[in-house]
Amino acid sequence: MAWGGAKGAGAWGGAKGGAPAWGAGAGGGGKDAWGGAPPAGGGKDAWGAGGKDAYGKGAPAPQGYGGKDAWGKGAAAPVQVPAPAWGGAPKAGGLIPGGAGGIAALLDVVGCAHASIGATVRGKFTKQADNHGKPTYKKTEQADGSDVLIYFWDARDGDAFSGWWFGPKVGGDQVWAYHANKASGVPPTNGWRVPFNGEIDNSMQIMTPPAFGAPAGKGGKPGLVPQMQHLTPQQLVAKRQEEAKNKMAEMQQKMAETKLKQEQTAASRVVAIKAANEIRKIVMKVKQATADNFDDMQIELQAIMETEMPNCGEQTERISQECEQAVEVTRKRVELINAKKKEEEDKKMDVEKKKKEIKEKAEELVGELGGMVVFAEKGLEELKGQIEKFGTEKEILPDLVEIRWRKIQESGEEVEALAQKCSDFFRENHQAMKPPVQTKRPPTPAEKAAMAAQAKAKADNAALALEDSTKSDDPALAKAEEEEKNKPDLKEVLAGLIQRISVCKKQVEVESNQAVEIKAVVEHRAKANGKHEKIRTTFRKYDKAKNGLLFKRNVMAYAAGEFNFEIPLDVFEGFWPHHSEYSAKHGEKGVAWDKFEDLKVSIGIAREIKRDAKRRADREAEGESDEKKAKTE
């Protein structure tokens, strides 16, 4: 009996009509074939895999093979037995038979011992589309508001990420279960790791509803056990047991290697995901960086990349691109912000420059006005002094009164003109004298750098933080700030000048009115002083010796020259001792200036006595004449 007969042969390779073939490939047996060899890496029902129904180690042979445990015992030849039907869920590592085209349109996920993931993945799934050349299935109902998908991912991100996945999104970071079978064209029926990096959950199964598969043979009829021509049943059993044992050992070794590789891959994936997440945290900070901390964020990103990038595995290139893109986008944004900020600062600087020019011009004009006011006030003080001196001058004479008055008038007019000039100057320039609105001057780049250094120093040293933060460390800048701080307020200065101008104009008017009143008094005094001076001039006229004394001869000359009067000697000797005083220098008596007025009075009395005597003589003469006239009549 041949081991691989033509299509339709029922023996182990013999002619048509023999027993059904064991494990021949598809098309190797006829209508009574067992349906092909079980899938590689079989599960509990797989033939030759050492399961409970396996033909071989520790498993009973099918009924009719010469006894309970071996072929040939108590039987001359094998008999026909029912072939096991391939219905229900396929075994571990098996593939799901499809409908049209070989791919099922509907899947049913059952089992899964994990409490939370089981509730998520259990249910019916429908075919949606393809991903990486293989079908994708979507659960008919959402789980906690999220979609549940079964999809395939190829090795483009690395072999560790290739395989079948349960997740809410194709290619997403969140996953629930994983199967490393990369060769399967459809989701594997079992052997899924739940969670994705956990142990295999044999309770989780994927099937097509209703259970697929058909019994061996036409209409489910049993096939025939082939008769062995070359081996006795005992030899065949021993051979099959040896093959099953070797296959079991090989399969166990492969499973151990696969498990170790999966565990290493899963661990590497966890490390890679963790490293990528750590880098992406800093990438997010870089994206949110401001112009002030962008450089610090770049340094922090560079540090985390040096630490975590070696752990990113096959995601290294993608993470590197994300970092570069984030830095570039943020740099452009920061440059734009800095450009706008510089533009605003330039505008502020221009405004401050104009304000400074306006302020300097205002200060210049206010200073000029202040000088004019001081000059007017000085003139006013001089005017006051002139008027005061004019009013207190005792010996002034009438001819000096007019001279003094004309000078006072000129000074008053000059001060009045100066005050009016101040008013006109203010009226013409008052707009330019208004100080600009005070705003804080933006710091220059050098000042910014100094402020930043100072802030850093204070952050490093708590003692410095207690110092006056408004005081600059730059001596020149501190001096300028102190001078600016000590400058008087321009508004207050201008208001004070306006008030002083008004006071000056009013004071000029007051002093002018007072001067008129004083003039009347001075004129009266001058008139008296004029008479007095006239007398003194007369005294000096007859003081021939210019020694301030009038001797007897001088007095006689004075009476004769001024009054045409010759003082009688007896009269003269009567008043002379009362008015004269002895001068040792001249060795004789004389009348001093302070006694001259008394002398004049005495001379006047003498003259009056003489006039009285003459009038009396005239009356007496007239009376005698009248008597004579009367007698004649």
Half-sphere exposure of 581 (CA within 13 A, CB side): 10
Mean pLDDT of the chain: 75
Query: What CA–CA distance (Å, rounded) separates 55 from 572?
Result: 193
Query: What CA–CA distance (Å, rounded) separates 107 from 126?
Result: 6
Task: Tell whether 550 is covered by a domain.
Answer: yes
Greater pLDDT, 257 or 146: 146
Domain final residue pick, 480, 503, 531? 531
| 587 plus 561 within the same structural domain | yes
Task: Tell whether 73 is covered by a domain.
Answer: no
| 614 plus 507 within the same structural domain | no
Note the pLDDT of residue 182.
92
| 432 plus 573 within the same structural domain | no
Task: Tell whether 227 is covered by a domain.
Answer: no
Query: Comparing C-alpha atoms, which of 274, 331, 330, 332 is closest to residue 304?
Result: 274
Query: Comparing C-alpha atoms, which of 27, 51, 47, 28 is closest to residue 38?
Result: 47
SS3 sequence of 472-522 = CCCHHHHHHHHHHHHCCCHHHHHHHHHHHHHHHHHHHHHHHHHHHHHHHHH
Query: Comparing C-alpha atoms, which of 392, 406, 394 is closest to residue 528?
Result: 394
Q: Is the dihedral of CA 16, 22, 27, 30 positive or negative?
A: positive
Residue 195 binned pLDDT confidence (cut-offs 50, 70, 90) = very high
Could you read off the pLDDT of 457-512 as tens digits, one per residue?
766 665 554 455 455 556 666 666 666 667 778 888 889 999 999 999 899 889 88
Give me the torsion for CA of 242, 246, 251, 254, rounded to 10°: 180
Note the pLDDT of residue 471.
53
Query: What CA–CA distance (Å, rounded) separates 63 from 246?
Result: 25
Query: What CA–CA distance (Å, rounded) separates 418 from 499?
Result: 15
| 564 plus 585 within the same structural domain | yes
Characterise 118 by phi-psi region: left (phi > 0), alpha (psi -120 to 50), beta (else).
alpha
Query: Comparing C-alpha atoms, which of 65, 55, 61 is closest to residue 19?
Result: 65
Domain final residue pick, 531, 555, 587? 531
Residues in the chain: 633
Query: What CA–CA distance (Å, rounded) separates 478 from 358?
Result: 23
| 203 plus 108 within the same structural domain | yes
In the block, tokens 């899964």 appear at 112
Residue 213 has pLDDT above 70, yes or no: no
Q: Which of 13-27, 308-322, 463-477 has the highest mean pLDDT?
A: 308-322
Query: What CA–CA distance (Å, rounded) separates 158 from 318?
Result: 12
| 502 plus 621 within the same structural domain | no
| 122 plus 148 within the same structural domain | yes
Based on the number of CB atoms within 10 Å of its own CB, is 630 exposed (0-12), middle (13-18) or buried (19 or more)? Answer: exposed
> What is the number of structural domains in the chain?
3
Task: Tell whether 44 is covered by a domain.
Answer: no
Q: What range does the domain containing 605 cover?
A: 543-632
Question: Hey, how many other C-beta atoms are within 10 angstroms of the C-beta on 445?
Answer: 9
SS3 sequence of 335-404 = HHHHHHHHHHHHHHHHHHHHHHHHHHHHHHHHHHHHHHHHHHHHHHHHHHHHHHHHHHCCCCCHHHHHHH
As a whole number, mean pLDDT of residues 78-97 equals 37
Task: Tell whether 450 is covered by a domain.
Answer: no
| 372 plus 515 within the same structural domain | yes
- Sequence-ordered list of residues with C-beta below 8 angstroms from that of 228, at least 6 positions apart, any chain: 1, 12, 71, 78, 236
Residue 371 binned pLDDT confidence (cut-offs 50, 70, 90) = very high
Task: Tell whether 136 is covered by a domain.
Answer: yes
As a whole number, mean pLDDT of residues 523-548 equals 78
| H-run or E-run covering 131 | strand 123-131
Note the pLDDT of residue 476.
62
Half-sphere exposure of 504 (CA within 13 A, CB side): 31
| 498 plus 601 within the same structural domain | no
Measured in degrees and rounded to the nearest 5, phi and psi for residue 153 equal -130, 125
Residue 14 binned pLDDT confidence (cut-offs 50, 70, 90) = very low
Query: What CA–CA distance (Å, rounded) separates 24 from 5?
Result: 10
Residue 212 has pLDDT above 70, yes or no: no
Pairing state between β 123-131 and 205-207: unpaired
Could you read off the pLDDT of 44-75 as tens digits, one per residue?
333 333 333 333 333 333 333 333 333 333 33
| 426 plus 570 within the same structural domain | no
Characterise 129 by phi-psi region: left (phi > 0), alpha (psi -120 to 50), beta (else).
beta
Domain final residue pick, 213, 236, 269? 213
Amino acid at 582: Y
Could you read off the pLDDT of 503-530 as tens digits, one per residue?
998 998 898 898 898 888 888 887 777 7
| 526 plus 566 within the same structural domain | no
Note the pLDDT of residue 216.
39
Q: Is the dihedral of CA 437, 440, 444, 446 positive or negative?
A: positive
Greater pLDDT, 486 or 210: 486
Question: Hey, how many other C-beta atoms are within 10 angstroms of the C-beta on 83?
Answer: 23
| 553 plus 510 within the same structural domain | no
Task: Tell whether 27 is covered by a domain.
Answer: no
| H-run or E-run covering 606 | helix 596-632
Task: Tell whether 485 is covered by a domain.
Answer: no
Could you read off the pLDDT of 125-179 as tens digits, one per residue?
999 999 999 999 999 999 989 999 999 999 998 888 999 999 999 998 899 999 9
Greater pLDDT, 453 or 377: 377
Question: Hey, how many other C-beta atoms are within 10 angstroms of the C-beta on 552?
Answer: 16
Based on the number of CB atoms within 10 Å of its own CB, is 495 exposed (0-12), middle (13-18) or buried (19 or more)? Answer: exposed
